[in-house]
Every structure is written in C-alpha cells, then in structure tokens.
Structure 1
C-alpha cells in the first residue's frame, strides 16, 4: 500500500523499517522538526525517524503544525492509502485524520483504555502494573480513544526498567503494525470499540517527579526509579566527600523487610540501601552528573555516601 509514516523518536524506527521490508511504499515521512543540540545548542539535530527515512531515500516533512489548509492539502496530495502514526508528537486535526482512503492507524504502547496519553510506558511501571502491551488503533478526534484493530500483552518483570520495556514494545509494535496493514490491504482488518471502563491517563513526565525524597514505601520508590530509567532518570542528592552532589538512580531492588530510617543509608551486599517510609530500596546502579553509570559497589569504593536528600 501507499503509506504516509508519521513518527519521531527511536521507538518509531522499527515500524518504519518493517513496513518498508514488507513491500509497502512509504510516500512521505512526517517527523518533528530538528531540535537544537550540542553543548551550546547551536546545532540542529534531526529526529531518529528523519535520519532513518533519509537513508531510505524517503521524502521527510517537518511542519511545526498541521492545523492549516496548506498542510492539509499537501497531505491529501500524496494520494496515500493510509497513514501510520507511531509517537509522532503532534495532534492530528480532522483534515489529516480523514486525508487518506483508510484513515490513520496508531501504534500505542499500552493496553488501552489504560494509559492513554504521552507516557504510557513510564506510567505503567510507576503504577506497579504487572502487564502492559502494544495496540494498533484507528485514530479519531479523541486522545487515544479510537477503535482497536490489534493488540498483544507483555509481562512487566519486577525489576524491568522503562528503557527495557520501551525496546520490547518497539519491536512488538513493528510486528503488529505490519500484520495490521496486511490485513487492511486484504480487507480483513476488524475493529472493536475500546471498553469504557478502566481509563487511565499517562500524563507527560514532569521534571519534578524525578526527584526522590524517599517518603514513599520501598516498592513505590523502586517503581519510580525503574519507571524513569534511563531517561530522565530518578535522582537525589548525596553527601559525598563533604559536599552534596546530584546522582541518578538507574537500577534498584525493593526490600520491604529491611528497616532503615527514612533517607538514611547503609552498605548492603547488594548495593547501597536507602530507607524509605517503610522498607528500603537497594540501589545497584547509579550515575553522578558528568560521569558514566556504574555499579553501586564500584561507586561506593570511590565515593562513600554520608547522606541523601
């Protein structure tokens, strides 16, 4: 089929590549505009989808908005059969949603209607969910409210990080989307309405959420750490060699039975133990600003921790 692909981050790239490998014609790629990068922000960095599409010789379009007649006409003039959307990052107005023969199909990283919105992977882990999934949905005007075409469940391990789940769902999403497009082409893709019960919204991660004050219990603190790893990274300040330093906590283990005073630390065979409102988290991987990530044992050899806040 003739497909318009709309996506921006690394998460979207496997789906683009899979559609090409399955013989579909990608008539254009839409992606977020290049962003300032480099130490001074003077360079403009193209998105991962933008770079992948250029390597494939596909036209890339990077409008700042799609909410005007000119963009709607340019979209329609591509004469595409369908649009595939994976983590694009712009709201699609009605003219775009209806701008192809079959509409727009979105790859969304949750078991809809749970975790509609911007950060479904992180929110599922932060909430302590035992399962999530990937779904293909025909888009409508609402926020992830469209009819479901296809989906698959994925277990979330007790120590799974957002980065690990991101990679799993990215590959699964590529497989599901190619299967959905093949079924659409054959005329055998069946849609069903989302349930009206169980709706949860996955709000964009606020920077303030990443600062851990250890006022939650051990499991909730552990879920926060792994839900924000590796990016943006949950963090606290540690008192090291007489000064406070910001440190990201990248991997942890929850120990509800280990009792340590809240925000106090102690050495543990598994890593650095920090007391929570109840129980403790054992930090196994951490990273000081400007340094590489390292195992807790290595970190503590060079920087004994005298306190956290």
Structure 2
C-alpha cells in the first residue's frame, strides 16, 4: 500500500518500522522540525526523522500545515492510499484529512472514547485505570472523535508508570496498524459519547505535589508523570524532584508534608508515602539509601513550604 507516515516521538517509531518492514511503500514521512536540545542547544532531529533517514525515506518537516495551501497541495500530490498518524503533533486540516484515498488513520494511545487528547498515557496512570490500550481511528476534524477501526487492550500493573505504559503501547500500536493495513480495512464504528473523557494538557506545574491530597493520589501522580514532566516538592525553598514513592497505610496526626521518621516517610492528607527516589538541585536522581548516605531529611522537616 502507498502510505504517508506522520509522527514525531519515540512512540511513533515502532509503527514506521513495522509498516516499512511489512513492505508498504512509504512515499513520505512527515515529522516535527528539529528542536534545540542539550546544553549546547544544538538542533536535534526527531526520533522518527532519524529512523526515516536511516531507511532512506523522504522526510518533510513543515513548521505548520493548517493554513499552508502549498503544503496541502504537496500532500495531495503524494497520491497516497492512506496516511498513518502517530503522535505527529500538528493538527491536520480537512484538505489533508481528505486527500488519501482511505483517509488518515491515527494510532491513539487509549481505548477511545476514554482519554481523547494529547496525553492519554499519562491520564490513564494518573486516574488509576485498570486497562488501557491503543485505538486505530479514521481521523476527522474533531479532537480524536473519528470512527474506530480496531482496538487492542492491556492491563495496567500496580506499579505502571507513564514510561512503562508508553513502552508497551508503542509496539502494540505498531502491530495493530500493520494488521489493519494487511487487507481490506475493518468496518469503522462511531465512538459512543458515553464514557468520553479528555486528557488534560500537561505542564511542569502538573508535577507539583500537594501533600494535602491522599497518598494513593500522589503515588499515581508520581507514576503518571514519570519521566515527564516529573513530580517535585520544595524543601526550604529548593526544588526536590521525586522519582519514586511507596505507599504506607496508617493514621497519623502530623501536618501534610511533614517527615515522619529518619527514612523519608512523609505525611499526606491521608496515609503516608516513603520517598524511594529523589533528586536534590545539581545532583542526579538517586535511590533512598544513596540519598541518605550523603544528606539528611530529619523527622519533623516540612516539605512543600
């Protein structure tokens, strides 16, 4: 099949690899332009661009496409049977959505209509969902509202993080889109409106820990925002990044954010959390034992102030 592939981050790479290895003709790869990265702020191409160039595939990286008529025409002139979209990062206008013969097929990292939007993987972990998965959707002009051609589900483990779920759903989406395009397309079914939810936009402030919340909610926050944007608290005005915690049930009468012992147990609005991985300013992330070897966080100290 003659395909255009549109994607940017690591999540999209397995799909590009799978479709190319399956023998589909990838006539063009669209991806976000290179971005400054690292201390030197040198321009770094996206993971999809790196893989496309390694395979000798033509790459286009327009800054924007929504109102670029010339880009719409160039896209249409590719004469694709379908476009496969996986975390591309730009909204496609109707002119592009309608150009491929079979439309634009999106690999979305949730079981639609739950968690439409840009951060479905994080949202599933933050909410404590028992299941997640991927949906293959024919795109329309709405926000992840198109008809669904196929789904594949996974169970979430008790220690699931956004990173671990990302690493499972990328290959799962790759296998599913390759299966969908291996023959006649499955029947596309409209999404039910019942159960529709939207994943909120993530910012650095999303990771700010509010110790008045219950320990279960904060524990999911830490897992759901690992590795990005990460979670943090403050200690005497300094930012203390939190990379892992464990739940400790039981009543206490301390104010939320109070350190309850000399082994990094912190009071929450309900129950408590043991800090298992944390990072001081200017240092690397370290486990609890390593942190306590070089620093103290004594009983009675207050976090979040």
Q: Same fold (TM over 0.5)?
A: yes
Secondary structure of the corresponding residue to residue 171 of structure 2: helix
Give the structure with the higher percent strand.
1
Change (3 A) 1:302 1:136: same
Say if 2:204 and 2:230, in contact at 8 Å, map to a contact too: no
Say if 1:236 and 1:246, in contact at 8 Å, map to a contact too: yes
TM-score by length of 1: 0.93
* Residue of structure 1 equivalent to 2:293: 301
Structure 1 stretches of 4+ with a deviation exceeding 3 A read none
Picking from 212, 215, 228, the partner of 1:215 is 212
Say if 1:238 and 1:305, in contact at 8 Å, map to a contact too: no
State which drifts further: 13-22 or 187-196. Answer: 187-196
State which drifts further: 203-212 or 73-82. Answer: 203-212
**Deviation of residue 88 (structure 1)?**
0.3
Say if 1:159 and 1:253, in contact at 8 Å, map to a contact too: no
Query: Could you tell me how far apart the structure 1 residues matched to 2:253 and 2:208 are?
Result: 20
* Residue of structure 2 equivalent to 1:100: 100
* Residue of structure 2 equivalent to 1:276: 268
Query: Could you tell me how far apart the structure 1 residues matched to 2:264 and 2:197 are?
Result: 34
Change (3 A) 1:168 1:258: farther
Deviations 1:134-186 (A, max 9, x none): 1111111100001111111111112211111110111111111111111xxx2
Q: Which runs of 5+ in 2 are unaligned?
A: none
Query: Could you tell me how far apart the structure 1 residues matched to 2:109 and 2:141 are?
Result: 19
**Deviation of residue 64 (structure 1)?**
1.2
Trace 1:49-88 onto structure 2 (pairs within 5 A). Answer: 49-66=48-65, 67-88=67-88
Deviations 1:179-208 (A, max 9, x none): 1111xxx22422111111011111210221
Change (3 A) 1:289 1:58: farther
Q: Which runs of 5+ in 1 are unaligned?
A: none
Query: Could you tell me how far apart the structure 2 residues matched to 1:259 and 1:53 are?
Result: 55
* Residue of structure 2 equivalent to 1:168: 168
**Deviation of residue 29 (structure 1)?**
0.5
TM-score by length of 2: 0.94
Change (3 A) 1:249 1:58: same
Deviations 1:10-32 (A, max 9, x none): 11101100111111111111001
User: How many pairs were matched up?
Assistant: 299
Trace 1:96-245 onto structure 2 (pairs within 5 A). Answer: 96-182=96-182, 186-239=183-236, 244-245=237-238
C-alpha RMSD over aligned residues: 1.5
